[in-house]
Amino acid sequence: MQEQYKICMCFREKEWLLRECVEDKLFDFVCRFWDYVSEAVCHDCVSIFESLMKLHLTKHSSKDPLSSWAKSVGKFLIDSPSPCRSRYRCILAYNKMVASFSESLTDNFCKELYSSLSNPTLVAVISEIITFDVIKNFDKSNRLQLHSNLLYASLQSPVKAIRSAVQERLLPEFSKNPLLLDWIVEELKIFQADCAHITDNFETLLYIAKFCLFHQKENGNILEWTSFIDESVVISALLNATTRIRLMAWSLICDHPKLAAPISNRQLLLCKCFLVTNMAEQSPAVRLTILTSLKKVLIRIRENGQNILKNGSDEDKLKAYVDFICWLRDLCFQNLIQYANFSRRIMALQMLEYVFLENYLVNDNKDIFFKFLSSKLRPTEEQICRVIYCLDDSYQLCQISALRLLSSPFFEIHNFDVFQYLVNVCKDRIKLISEDFLVIATDEGFVYSTLSAISVILELLDFQSVLTKNDWCVTLVNHDLLPLCFQISELVAPVVNSMSPEGFVPDEHLKIIVNIKDFEQLKESTDFCQALLASCWRSHKYVSAIFHIIITKWLGNPVLSSETVQCICNYYWRQLTECKHCGAVETAVEGFETLCAKLWSLSSSDSPGFMDLLQPEAWVKQIIELIGSEKNILCATRRSAGLPHLIVSILIKEPIINDAHCLKTTMISMFEMLENDERSYEAQVHSINIMRAIFLNSCLSESVLCYVESAVDVCFACFNSSSWAVRSAASQLFAALINRIFGIPRNMQLSFHPHEKNRLSSFEFFTRFPLLYDSLHRQFYENEKSISQLRMFAVSTLLIHLFPSPRHTSIYSLATYVLPLLKFSLSCRAMKLRELSAAALISICEIQDAHVLLKWISKIDLTACAQNEICAIMLMLMELAVAFNGYELQNCIQSVIRRLEDGKYFQKWCDYNRFLFITLLLKIRYQFTASFVKEFLLSDAVLVFRPLAKWIIREIEVTFAIKQNNKISFEIKNLLMNNKALRLEFWRALSKSTTVKFTETEMIQLTVGDIRNSGPFVQRYILTLFLNNSATDISKLFDTCFLKHFIDELQSNRHLANLLLIKLNHNEWRFEWLYNSAVNEDQKVQTIAVQALQLLLKKGFIMLFQCPHTIFFRAYNTELLIAGNPDIQLCKIIVLLLKSENEKIREKVAELCSHMVNLKITSLNPEILFWWFVQYYPEVEEFVSKYDNFNNNKQTHLFDACASNPYNEAIPICNEYLNSILQLIS
């Protein structure tokens, strides 16, 4: 590739000309490789094309007409079906070089460009092409009108990707050109005026308003957003159920091209309405967006307040700004009350930081307004207490934010005062725990929350000032805090080190559980075991965090003695060599890495105070000796617990000047240990796990490449071990090596074939690892002597990640593996390994190898082949049909299929091979006949029914599309009625079809019969069919009484069955089921509850009219009507779903119920609806307060962070603003 590029450049520099045949070859080369896997190759193709065109155009004068060769190139570029980015890059380059080419771009091609904006790979280059075409044809009204129409259509496109591409790429590209900017702004204004009446197009309207706001050159940036969009649209968007719409409206009202632009009282009111309804946003990204826009509001207030105070004018405006800041402060404190969820707490604390700590209201040069404001901002005692309570928060983020606030001048609380108090509390609780250890799992003995707050204070303390000004604090840490941490570690170590998934069970509780007679007593005992483990583990976690902070800030300073450092070293050593708790290991690793970095640094600087400390390199040698000594000191788990992390932490912090000496020593020792067959399997497992951790660590990615070949050979050797533990560890090591060699998969791999980006050419791979070329060949020979075929799994996995090099066919050719792999595939005993080897075989084949393979298959005597061999051949044909889809190869495959069909070979095959044969026929779009299908149905095969059902669905879809007929043909219907197994698979395939309509009475009656005598999976498919059925008379064809009595037997499908009952007859809805579905943690079940709610609202209620406090409904069913209001039971379900943890559920329910508040509003924020239901229905408020046992302090205190629904809140917060919001939207 580089050679061709250099040749073109050389010809350009020398002003030499190319013959047309050479130009054809170069252009053909570009077209062959412009969609190559490597992006560098694609880039080179575009560069070669540009140089080629420039060389060609130098042949002719600019006045001469365009040559026929250049015209043919342009036509090929336009007509080419290739969707690759390089093709469009070539079109752009050609367009810039050939002035007349723009006229050749047809209207259809322009439409193709706009439709391709949805492709994220092409959006950048297509935006450039469209922009260039508009500039080029700016004086041509027809072309300009075409672009206007296509732009309007794209802005209103139902495809979100197209709308996003226009907003984020195309319009910014237009704005770079001054000529286009004026034109596009005027066009957008016209579009805005035409679409002002469209209420469901908020996204486009808001974007256009902001775009025009920031590109108002002729207005001098003085207009507000109200000049570009109607206020009612913005209000509806601010209170919309969809988060994205609300954020766009919020950004619009907060932002302005001039930071000093004033903010009107009306805009401040809108800001208040938005903030009070969005304090509990779950997503960190959404919270950050809200805070970013709030920052702009505060800066604008600061700038305007500064100007007002300087000029001494407009005191009313200043008062509005001051009132808004004070209101914001009070709102934040109001959201720190009990039962506020995490999202609300962290949002309130971060906003308080913006007010009290950040420089948005004050900076170095502009502090007049803040000084004027300061006296009014001081919090009350109650407000300060609410922040102090946050020090005991379940989330460290809230603790850190609270401590930062308490350290500000407004709160007048010093870190050292809180620090001393927390240490004393910790002492008292440890005293209780020492007397009775089980107290640690009770409210009186929770020590982890205190340790968490201490770690936060240590993190924020300025240790430099502590060391110089506060000797008592140093004494407090050395003489009180650290001994407390060591004591806690000793107390909780037996529990944490012996962790089991069910929790730690004390002896007295074990007796209760074993000899159980009372279920409630058993439940209390098991709950206590979980609480005990959680409390001990969290205490251990924060001890590690405290040590981490102490090491980071104090290690190397004389105030931390070498004896204390040695105790911390011993603590980490114990956690990483004995502890089984994965969380304890992970938290210990963070501090141990920092410790290693410090010790390496001290060892290189020869610090006299720490010369007696054990050096990291000595630790590695000690571990190696322990592994080789055969002593059972180290934690003998499958993955060696923290041992690999201990070694890796030392290696990644090794100084560069050591030249990776410690890494070399470790790897050599591991290889020597694995080469010694006399070592115990525990030693081998530890060695393999350490190597795995080393290869997985990204910090060592380049350093370990030289050990890949040896490590792969170690895997091959260990795959033949008699110990399962060794084979398991080796397979994990091999997986790590695959990731290190080919990169981490970009997407979940759902087939045997890896992503193209995770494959290498044979030349590139074997150039890096040449020893593996012969090693892979050797494994085929070794496999013949081995009982286990596990090594071949590794060989096939490696080969499937390779592809034949297009440039170096003679060096490291993959063709040499074709015959050994073919031989192994035919003899392979394991099904999955046979599938993998067949896939690997085809992936390394070139077209000539594929022809040879097909020629061999066409001549082989299939009657003499074993079933495993036939299976391998079928798998190869399926892979060939997918990998080589050219007509020539497809004809060869078709001939093989005809031979199999004519000879009726498949009649003697096993069930699975027939299944593969039918699947192959589907892949190549083979034309089935009813008689051919009957041959399989009359046999004893079972697996063939699924692919045959897919074929039937395909035939029905074709019939529906061509004949526009919803009737199923007689032959197919006959097949289905006479074979139940085929019919059950047909229901499965039909439930997944998006085009086939299920309306025939005869077929519906068949499903009713089948649902009685089928398993849960088929029942689910049939229920899905009925739920998706739009027939109006379906209730007449389905026995609802039968379904009602049968519902308890449906087990996992009872949710779909209940939903179907409601669809058939809305009188059948049951509060108990709907309640359980609404609170279910499974999002799919909650979605079913939302669908049921939608059916009930659609069938049960029609809104008549609205008054300020009551909404009247007319119901088809009197049971859904209570005193003129909606059923309270149904309102309870709505409120539960409005507080669902899943944002999509909340938004969907809000859109369904928004009309209850206001007929004009189609979409309202779920938080507003929650307030509305609670305010107007007292029974609902009482129900919410009792839901989820909010008053059970034991549960909420310990498990707050992992509650079943952490978004839910016991009481409505800020609902006093509801009336103001309702007035705003009325």
Residue 732: both structure tokens together: 């994990």
Beta-carbon contacts of residue 919 (< 8 Å; ≥ 6 apart): 878, 947
What values do phi and psi take at 747, rounded to 5? -130, 165
Residue 955: C-alpha distances to residues 930, 959, 1028, 1212 (Å): 11, 6, 21, 56
Which contacts qualify for 330-333: CB closer than 8 Å, 24 or more apart? 331/275, 331/276, 331/279, 331/1214, 333/379, 333/383, 333/386
DSSP state of 614: P
Give the pLDDT of residue 218: 64
Q: Is the pLDDT of residue 1167 over 90?
A: yes
| CA-based nearest residue to 952, from 723, 974, 965 | 974
Enumerate the H helices of 436-561 as residue ranges.
448-460, 463-469, 471-475, 482-497, 507-514, 519-554
Top-confidence residue, 935 or 766: 766
Q: Is the pLDDT of residue 826 over 50?
A: yes
- Distance separating alpha carbons of residues 103 and 590, to the nearest angstrom: 63
Of the chain, the end-to-end C-alpha distance in Å amounts to: 67
Specify the pTM.
0.80
Top-confidence residue, 313 or 789: 789
CA angle 208, 209, 211 (to 5 degrees): 60
Give the pLDDT of residue 1120: 38
Q: Is the pLDDT of residue 1119 over 50?
A: no
- Distance separating alpha carbons of residues 478 and 559, to the nearest angstrom: 8
Sign of the C-alpha dihedral, residues 582, 588, 592, 593? positive
What values do phi and psi take at 621, rounded to 5? -60, -40
- Distance separating alpha carbons of residues 24 and 10, to the nearest angstrom: 18
| CA-based nearest residue to 449, from 1150, 1008, 1224, 1200 | 1200
Enumerate the H helices of 969-1000 as residue ranges.
970-978, 980-992
DSSP state of 637: S
Other C-beta atoms closer than 10 Å to the C-beta of 1037 total: 17
Beta strands 760-761; 802-803: pairing state: parallel
Beta strands 760-761; 1125-1126: pairing state: unpaired
Q: What is the mean pLDDT of residues 205-232?
A: 84
Other C-beta atoms closer than 10 Å to the C-beta of 557 total: 12
Residue 748: both structure tokens together: 């979940």
- Distance separating alpha carbons of residues 1161 and 1150, to the nearest angstrom: 11
Other C-beta atoms closer than 10 Å to the C-beta of 486 total: 17
630: left (phi over 0), alpha (psi -120 to 50) or beta: left
Give the pLDDT of residue 370: 84
pLDDT digits (tens, 9 = 90+) for 19-34: 778 788 888 888 887 8
User: Percent of the chain beyond pLDDT 70?
Assistant: 86
Residue 1017: C-alpha distances to residues 394, 609, 824 (Å): 42, 70, 37
Lowest mean pLDDT among 315-319, 699-703, 1173-1177: 315-319
| Residue indicated by tokens 């079109």 | 91
Q: Is the pLDDT of residue 1118 over 50?
A: no
- Distance separating alpha carbons of residues 708 and 714, to the nearest angstrom: 10
Contact 180, 174 (CB under 8 A): yes
- Kind and range of the H or E run holding 761: strand 760-761
Top-confidence residue, 1151 or 629: 1151
Beta-carbon contacts of residue 582 (< 8 Å; ≥ 6 apart): 641
Contact 146, 137 (CB under 8 A): no
Taking the mean position of all CA atoms in its chain, how far away is CA 180?
A: 38
Beta-carbon contacts of residue 857 (< 8 Å; ≥ 6 apart): 873, 876, 877, 896
Residues in the chain: 1226
Beta bridge partners of 1111: 1106
- Distance separating alpha carbons of residues 381 and 791, to the nearest angstrom: 71
Q: Is the pLDDT of residue 334 over 90?
A: yes
What values do phi and psi take at 1106, rounded to 5? -135, 140
Give the pLDDT of residue 9: 53
- Distance separating alpha carbons of residues 477 and 463, to the nearest angstrom: 12
Q: Is the pLDDT of residue 1114 over 50?
A: no
Q: How confident is the model at residue 796 (pLDDT cuts 50, 70, 90)?
A: very high
Q: Is the pLDDT of residue 1102 over 60?
A: no
| CA-based nearest residue to 350, from 418, 263, 416, 275 | 275
Beta-carbon contacts of residue 427 (< 8 Å; ≥ 6 apart): 480, 484
Tell me if residue 999 falls in helix, strand or coil.
Answer: coil
Q: How confident is the model at residue 772 (pLDDT cuts 50, 70, 90)?
A: very high
What values do phi and psi take at 687, rounded to 5? -65, -45
| Residue indicated by tokens 């080589």 | 884
Residue 380: both structure tokens together: 């009350």
Residue 342: C-alpha distances to residues 349, 720, 949 (Å): 11, 52, 50
Give the pLDDT of residue 295: 94
Q: Is the pLDDT of residue 819 over 90?
A: yes
| CA-based nearest residue to 349, from 292, 291, 304, 299 | 291
- Distance separating alpha carbons of residues 368 and 1128, to the nearest angstrom: 55
pLDDT digits (tens, 9 = 90+) for 1186-1219: 765 545 544 444 555 456 678 888 888 999 999 9
Residue 334: both structure tokens together: 């109001």
| CA-based nearest residue to 509, from 484, 488, 529 | 529
| CA-based nearest residue to 48, from 68, 28, 62 | 28
Give the pLDDT of residue 268: 95
Q: Is the pLDDT of residue 1122 over 80?
A: no
Contact 1221, 239 (CB under 8 A): yes
Beta-carbon contacts of residue 661 (< 8 Å; ≥ 6 apart): 617, 654
Give the pLDDT of residue 324: 94
Q: How confident is the model at residue 605 (pLDDT cuts 50, 70, 90)?
A: low
pLDDT digits (tens, 9 = 90+) for 52-85: 888 888 776 666 677 888 888 888 888 888 888 8
Lowest mean pLDDT among 90-94, 588-592, 846-850, 1067-1071: 1067-1071
Beta-carbon contacts of residue 140 (< 8 Å; ≥ 6 apart): none
pLDDT digits (tens, 9 = 90+) for 380-414: 889 988 998 888 787 888 988 998 888 888 886 66
User: Percent of the chain beyond pLDDT 90?
Assistant: 27
Lowest mean pLDDT among 735-749, 965-979, 1136-1150, 1160-1174: 965-979
Residue 522: both structure tokens together: 């058993």
Give the pLDDT of residue 580: 79
Contact 1213, 334 (CB under 8 A): yes
| CA-based nearest residue to 1069, from 1038, 1106, 1097 | 1097
Other C-beta atoms closer than 10 Å to the C-beta of 3 total: 7
Residue 57: C-alpha distances to residues 16, 18, 51, 66, 961 (Å): 12, 11, 10, 9, 50
User: What's the mean pLDDT when you consider all of the chain?
Assistant: 83
Top-confidence residue, 1115 or 149: 149
Q: Is the pLDDT of residue 1012 over 80?
A: no
Tell me if residue 1113 falls in helix, strand or coil.
Answer: strand
Q: Is the pLDDT of residue 131 over 80?
A: yes
Q: Is the pLDDT of residue 1108 over 50?
A: no
Residue 990: C-alpha distances to residues 698, 948, 993 (Å): 47, 12, 5
pLDDT digits (tens, 9 = 90+) for 1044-1076: 767 766 777 888 888 888 888 888 888 889 998
